[in-house]
């Protein structure tokens, strides 16, 4: 990024040309979107940019919003960017942009709009975008009405998105986009001269606060760490401080790649889809160190008063919101953890606590393998994820959708250093998996990507975005783009929430899904297709699809009755689930068939060393 350059603009440059050049100074070179007349000036400017900027045409503007946030998550660049047309285009993009906002990803949205003279006249596609976007882009939202505004509006939008890690938006009237550019506003009253240099961020808290945090943690005999996406990039520091404190480490799903899940002291995911060792970690700890996480389920933290707690987060406003912390360290995870290590001094942490956690974690993993190996009708979905864990390439990128796929990913896939993985972590939106996979692949076209989807998400937008895969895959250095679809003809996650939360049976009118031959659709598009409708087809599956010379869709016909057992199944949840079965749940036979052996394998006491 440079400062105050005009990007070598030609003399006849338009406002849109200048926007593309200025955004490039902020590191924006890839734009996700869909064209329309409200944004024609911008798409024309991107065409003229010739290699300095790239427009990625997706099938729906919602995908553009998802992909822009995922672009940052997968290391594609410092800022994501969406460019969509007026009215319906801007409306469609909102869900993906909310995903970026809630997961704190810096994204700039460029929204086409009605020409200035027609505003207020009820013109086609005229929508009050300043009102519509005032929540998702509350940190900075402005309409560009005069070419001399372009410089300071772009700079403020980018600076704010980066500094606050959020979504900002610029409304661009269609006629203004084609006006002559003004890269250097007059040196006069009412004009601004801004810079394209990002602001520095807080890195290390004051030494006295770090010392107080060390004093709190140093006395712990049973230390727990909760690691979230704020720890990404600080993997070595997380490992070193966990060793120093003798801590067990649980991870929020967005922070999965911050630790090596093969380590016995990594207890895995936390929360409703988490592991029993993570539940035990929080129920028995006497100290808690939260690093870059805002995991919201309060029942999965230690009971109030049990543990003394320290939190590290780059945003001071998010401290102490989930657990009553004693010391809050505002700073970037890496340098803050290094400062904390220095204050703690040498010495290994409690080995007995770690041995206890390692024993619990080993037993849990063995039980999950046992559950994955159990027979189902026709295919046990967990077996696909256990097999994936064994076959993952070291440089794999994983994109996970919301639903039962999330649960099996959290339980079975041991992410390790060098891998990239993400999902819609806070909005928990269905339909994010395929846009995430696309963004990952454009960020790293030389690495394999695996998208893990349920059939609900696949039907929502996955079938359409396969067309995007078919459009672009031949330009990728590594053609491996695998889409696993869990085809159980059921919105299974909703069905299980309904059973355990409401005590009512699965509602077919609401949750039944059509059975679609997803592998055949892939073949129509010139991609690979693989049908897995028998346990015998699971053997060697991942090797087959990862050896393919093109993207592959795996249509896995899996058992809809496969139970999602939480790490701590309460009496009330059991009562309501039983009530749903007794009230005539359409999957009651399968629930009994799968539930008894799965529960026995998951919850029965296991002999030490097994």
SS3 of 27-79: CCCEEEEECCHHHHHHHHHHHHHCCCCEEEECCCHHHHHHHHHHHHHCCCCCC
Confirm if 78 and 60 have CB atoms less than 8 A apart: no
The pLDDT assigned to 609 comes to 37
Q: What radius of gyration do the chain's Cα atoms show?
A: 25
326 with 308: CB under 8 angstroms? yes
Residues near 19 by beta carbon (within 8 Å), at least 6 away in sequence: 42, 45, 110, 150, 154, 172, 177
Query: Burial level of 243, CB count in 10 A (0-12/13-18/19+)?
Result: middle
Cβ–Cβ < 8 Å for 383, 540: no
* pLDDT > 90: percent of the chain: 81
Report whether 62 contacts 53 (CB < 8 A).
no
DSSP 499: I
Rounded Cα distance between 51 and 20, Å, is 12
**pTM, whole model, 2 decimals?**
0.93
Q: How many CB atoms are located within 10 Å of the residue 16 CB?
A: 27
Over residues 543-582, the pLDDT tens digits come to 999 999 999 999 999 998 887 777 765 545 555 555 555 5
Among 168-177, 193-202, 425-434, which is the least confidently predicted range?
Answer: 193-202
**Tokens 């400017």 identify what position?**
45
Query: In Å, how far are 97, 145, 369, 603 from 141, measured between CA atoms?
Result: 13, 13, 50, 51
Place of tokens 């360290």: 329
Q: pLDDT tens digit string along 395-430?
A: 999 999 999 999 999 999 999 999 999 999 999 999
18 against 588, higher pLDDT: 18
* Distance in angstroms (rounded) separating the CA atoms of residues 245 and 349: 4
CA distance 280 to 362: 13
Read off φ and ψ for residue 185, nearest 5 degrees: -60, 155
Among residues 453, 593, 594, 592, which one has the least CA distance to residue 518? 453
Helix-, strand-, coil-residue percentages of the chain, each rounded to 5? 45, 15, 40
* Sheet architecture: strand order including 308-313: 266-269, 248-251, 223-227, 287-291, 308-313, 327-330
106-150: pLDDT as tens digits: 999 999 999 999 999 999 999 999 999 999 999 999 999 999 999
Show the DSSP H helices in 103-189 as ranges.
129-132, 150-164, 174-177
Sheet holding 167-173, edge to edge: 54-57, 30-34, 80-84, 107-113, 167-173, 141-143
Residue 350: pLDDT band (50, 70, 90) is confident
Q: Among the ranges 189-198, 477-486, 507-516, which has the highest mean pLDDT value?
A: 477-486
Quick one: average pLDDT of 55-82?
98
d(CA 468, CA 471): 5
Cβ neighbors of 574 (< 8 A, separation 6 or more) are none
Tokens representing residue 89 in the block: 């285009």
User: Is the pLDDT reported for residue 610 higher than 50?
Assistant: no
Closest CA to 472 of 445, 453, 449, 450: 445
Distance, CA of 364 to CA of 357 (rounded, Å): 10
Average pLDDT, rounded, for the chain: 91
Q: Grade residue 587 by pLDDT with cuts at 50, 70 and 90.
A: low
If DSSP codes are grouped into helix, strand and coil, which group holds residue 82? strand
pLDDT at 127: 96
What is the distance in angstroms between the CA of the first residue and the CA of the last residue of the chain? 55
What angle do helix axes 351-373 and 588-603 make, rounded to 10 degrees?
150
373/536 Cα distance (integer angstroms): 12
What is the Cα–Cα distance from 501 to 33, expressed in whole angstroms? 38
d(CA 243, CA 235): 12
Render pLDDT for 453-476 as a digit per residue (tens, 0 to 9): 999 999 999 999 999 999 999 999
Give the separation between CA 260 and CA 258, rounded to whole angstroms: 7
The pLDDT of residue 555: 98
Lowest mean pLDDT among 348-352, 387-391, 420-424, 494-498: 494-498
- Strands 266-269 and 141-143: what pairing? unpaired
Helical pair 588-603 and 571-582, crossing angle rounded to 10 deg? 160
**In the predicted structure, residue 40 carries a pLDDT above the cut 90:** yes
Q: Give exposure, 54-78, as e/b (b: 16+ Cβ within 10 Å).
A: ebbebbbbbbbbbbbbbbbbbebbb
Phi, psi of 397 (to 5 degrees): -115, 130
Using the structure block, give the residue that is written with the tokens 């026709």. Answer: 378
- Cα(342)–Cα(28) distance, integer angstroms: 37
Closest CA to 329 of 344, 309, 349: 309
Per-residue pLDDT averaged across 436-454, rounded? 98
556, containing H or E segment: strand 552-557
Could you tell me what percent of the chain has a pLDDT over 70? 91
State residue 411 phi and psi, 5-degree precision.
Answer: -85, -30
Whole-number Å distance between alpha carbons of 563 and 91: 37
pLDDT of residue 6: 57
């Amino acid at each position: 990024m440079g400062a105050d350059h005009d990007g070598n603009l030609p003399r006849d440059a338009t406002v849109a040309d200048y926007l593309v050049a200025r955004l490039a100074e902020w590191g924006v070179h890839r734009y996700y979107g869909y064209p329309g007349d409200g944004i024609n000036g911008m798409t024309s400017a991107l065409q003229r940019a010739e290699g300095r900027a790239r427009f990625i045409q997706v099938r729906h503007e919602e995908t553009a919003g998802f992909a822009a946030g995922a672009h940052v998550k997968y290391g594609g660049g410092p800022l994501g960017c969406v460019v969509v047309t007026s009215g319906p285009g801007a409306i469609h993009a909102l869900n993906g942009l909310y995903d970026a906002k809630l997961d704190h990803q810096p994204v700039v949205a460029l929204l086409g709009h009605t020409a200035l003279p027609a505003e207020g006249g009820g013109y086609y596609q005229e929508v009050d975008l300043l009102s519509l976007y005032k929540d998702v882009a509350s940190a900075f939202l402005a309409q560009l009405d005069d070419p001399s505004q372009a410089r300071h509006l772009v700079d403020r939008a980018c600076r704010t998105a980066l500094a606050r890690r959020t979504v900002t938006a610029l409304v661009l009237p269609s006629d203004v986009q084609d006006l002559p550019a003004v890269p250097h506003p007059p040196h006069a009253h009412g004009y601004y001269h801004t810079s394209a240099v990002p602001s520095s961020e807080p890195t290390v808290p004051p030494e006295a606060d770090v010392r107080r945090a060390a004093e709190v943690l140093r006395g712990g005999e049973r230390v727990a760490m909760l690691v979230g996406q704020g720890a990404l990039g600080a993997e070595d520091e997380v490992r070193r401080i966990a060793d120093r404190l003798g801590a067990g480490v649980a991870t929020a799903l967005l922070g999965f790649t911050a630790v090596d899940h093969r380590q016995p002291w990594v207890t895995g995911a936390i929360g409703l889809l988490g592991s029993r060792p993570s539940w035990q970690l929080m129920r028995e700890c006497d100290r808690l160190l939260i690093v870059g996480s805002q995991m919201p389920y309060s029942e999965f933290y230690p009971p109030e008063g049990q543990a003394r707690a320290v939190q590290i987060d780059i945003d001071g406003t998010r401290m102490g919101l989930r657990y009553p912390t004693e010391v809050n360290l505002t700073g970037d995870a890496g340098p803050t953890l290094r400062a904390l290590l220095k204050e703690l001094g040498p010495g290994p942490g409690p080995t007995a606590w770690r041995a206890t956690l390692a024993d619990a974690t080993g037993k849990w993993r063995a039980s999950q393998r046992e559950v994955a190996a159990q027979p189902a009708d026709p295919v046990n979905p967990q077996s696909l994820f256990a097999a994936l864990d064994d076959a993952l390439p070291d440089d794999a990128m994983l994109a996970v959708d919301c639903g039962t796929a999330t649960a099996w990913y959290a339980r079975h896939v041991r992410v390790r250093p060098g891998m990239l993985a993400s999902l819609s972590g806070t909005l928990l939106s269905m339909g994010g998996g395929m846009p995430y996979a696309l963004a990952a692949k454009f960020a790293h076209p030389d690495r394999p990507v695996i998208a893990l989807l349920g059939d609900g998400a696949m039907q929502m937008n996955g079938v359409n975005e396969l067309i995007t895969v078919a459009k672009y895959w031949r330009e990728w250095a590594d053609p491996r783009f695998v889409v696993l679809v869990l085809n159980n003809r059921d919105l299974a996650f909703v069905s299980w929430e309904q059973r355990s939360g409401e005590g009512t049976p699965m509602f077919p009118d609401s949750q039944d899904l059509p059975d679609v031959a997803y592998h055949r659709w892939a073949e129509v598009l010139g991609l690979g297709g693989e049908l897995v409708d028998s346990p015998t087809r699971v053997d060697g599956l991942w090797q087959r699809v990862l050896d393919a010379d093109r993207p592959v869709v795996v249509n896995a016909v899996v058992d809809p009755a496969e139970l999602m057992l939480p790490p701590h199944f309460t009496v009330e949840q059991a009562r309501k689930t039983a009530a749903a079965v007794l009230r005539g749940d359409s999957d009651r036979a399968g629930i009994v068939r799968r539930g008894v052996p799965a529960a026995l394998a998951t919850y029965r006491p296991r002999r030490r060393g097994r």
